[in-house]
Amino acid sequence: MDSLTHLPNLIKIALNSKPKSSNYEKFESLLDINGFSFPLNVYEIIRNQILFSGNGVFSNVEISNENMSKFLKNNEKLFEDNVKAHLKLINNFYQTPK
The pLDDT score that the predictor gives to residue 98 is: 66
43-62 per-position pLDDT tens digit: 888 888 888 766 666 667 78
d(CA 21, CA 53): 46
The pLDDT score that the predictor gives to residue 11 is: 93
CB atoms within 10 A of CB 24: 10
The model carries a pTM of 0.55
The pLDDT score that the predictor gives to residue 1 is: 59
Question: How does residue 16 score in pLDDT terms, banded at 50, 70 and 90?
Answer: very high
The closest alpha carbon to 56, from 35, 34, 37, 41, belongs to: 41
